Amino acid sequence: MRQLDLFRKPAAEVIAFPLWKRRALVVATAKVLWTKQGQAANRYWRSVAKACIADLVAAGIPRREAEGQARELFEAVQGELLWMAIDNAAKDGAG
């Protein structure tokens, strides 16, 4: 390996605003999912994920990375749903 070979490697990809850090998206998605169950919830989630993936791909993000971003968004939404459940249980117990 020559010294210049170090500079021929592909550049790293940087996601400036990953989906899971988009708080408004996470909260809004969780609030809608909170009101749905079963297939309705699955359909809604799939539509959100599909739209997010399409937006990222259109912005030049490779599809595989976009799909990974959607999985991370799902985990963030699941976490938000958990906090919503805890908050709801605390309000029910306080009354």
Q: Helix H segments across the chain?
A: 23-34, 38-58, 63-94
pLDDT at 10: 65
**pLDDT tier, 2 (very low <50, low <70, confident <90, very high otherwise):** low
Quick: pLDDT tens for 39-75.
Answer: 999 999 999 999 999 999 999 999 999 999 999 999 9
Instruction: Please say if the pLDDT value at position 82 is more than 70.
Output: yes
Instruction: Please say if the pLDDT value at position 4 is more than 70.
Output: no
Gyration radius of the chain's alpha carbons: 19
